[in-house]
Amino acid sequence: MTIERQTNQPVNSANGQRSPLIRLEGLTKVYTEGGVSRTVLDALDREFYAGEFVCLLGKSGSGKSTLLNLISGIDAPSRGDVVIYDGAAAVRLTTLDEQARTLFRRRHIGIIFQFFNLIPTLTVLENVTLPLELNGLTRNARARARMLLDRVGLGNRLATFPDKLSGGEQQRVAIARALAHDPLLILADEPTGNLDEDTGETVLTLLLELTRDAGKTLFMATHAPEVARLADRVLHLDHGKLVSDQAWKVTHEIGD
């Protein structure tokens, strides 16, 4: 890959400290299946900072997608809270009802899914323009969408429908869509998991270039440890806990 590991983390000019964007406070998610409770996320306390690329590793079923769903407000925790800082305002997601969480997500979060989730009845241009229109940002919406589609190499496919695109092309549209409304945070859930290795590497390189250029915070869940070398911070979900990369390596090397 051609991306260099670098950070775009802004600092608080008053004290020289990085500005937190996300804070997890005792975040817990428990599922009940057949009368048996299963704790997927266990009292997570962690801060993530503006401009970081955080790589979240973990086995299938370890809770990576659950954590992204809680941070985005798609799901609600069993206990604890997610706090997202919108400028000086601290937004506690548990204080918002489902509609308010949906509106907050629509305005401030871009999500990239493994299976693209493009709307099949809309063209490439319409898919990327949609987040802007939903947020009432209609002025210059098509110009911004065209600019982003040019950046991902699809400026000549504006009128094409998703079923005419390859998987890699669809994911590039999804990246443009996630960035269209200038969100605070980009969440990517296995964004290359449905692509072949070469296409996945191309898409990942593009995603990192675009988020770095825009100074965005990127939180990516993946099975691919090779992605970790490009991240500012690597965390592992292990038995419901977030473990730092170094701590995880030490524990598992001793275990081996």
Residue 16 lies in a domain: no
Query: Rounded distance, CA 176 to CA 186, Å?
Result: 11
User: Residue 72 to residues 34, 67, 142: CA-CA distances in angstroms?
Assistant: 27, 9, 26
Q: Which pLDDT does position 227 carry in this prediction?
A: 80
**Total number of residues shown for the chain:** 256
Q: What DSSP element (H or E) covers 152?
A: none
Q: What angle do helix axes 167-179 and 197-214 make, rounded to 10 degrees? A: 10
Based on its alpha-carbon atoms, the radius of gyration of the chain, rounded to whole angstroms, reads 18
pLDDT at 11 over 60: no
Q: How far apart are CA 234 and CA 173, in angstroms?
A: 27
40 belongs to a structural domain: no
The answer to whether residue 47 is domain-embedded is: no
Do 168 and 202 contact (CB within 8 A), yes or no?
yes
Residue 180 lies in a domain: yes
Tens digits of residue pLDDT in 129-140: 999 999 998 888
Mean pLDDT on 4-8: 48
Helical H runs in the chain?
64-72, 98-108, 124-134, 141-151, 167-179, 197-214, 245-255
Q: What is the count of structural domains for the chain?
A: 1
Would 7 be classed as within a structural domain?
Answer: no
Q: Has residue 14 been placed in a domain? A: no
Mean pLDDT for the stretch of residues 60-73: 93
How many alpha carbons lie under 13 Å from residue 247 in its C-beta half-sphere? 10
CATH number at residue 156: 3.40.50.300
* Residue range of the domain that includes 161: 52-72+98-255
pTM for the full predicted model: 0.86
5-9, 87-91, 160-164, 215-219, range with the lowest pLDDT? 5-9
Mean per-residue pLDDT over the chain, rounded: 87
Q: Is 179 a domain residue?
A: yes
Determine the average pLDDT of the residues in 73-77.
95
Cα angle: 135, vertex 102, 144; to 5 degrees: 30
Q: Does 84 map to a domain? A: no
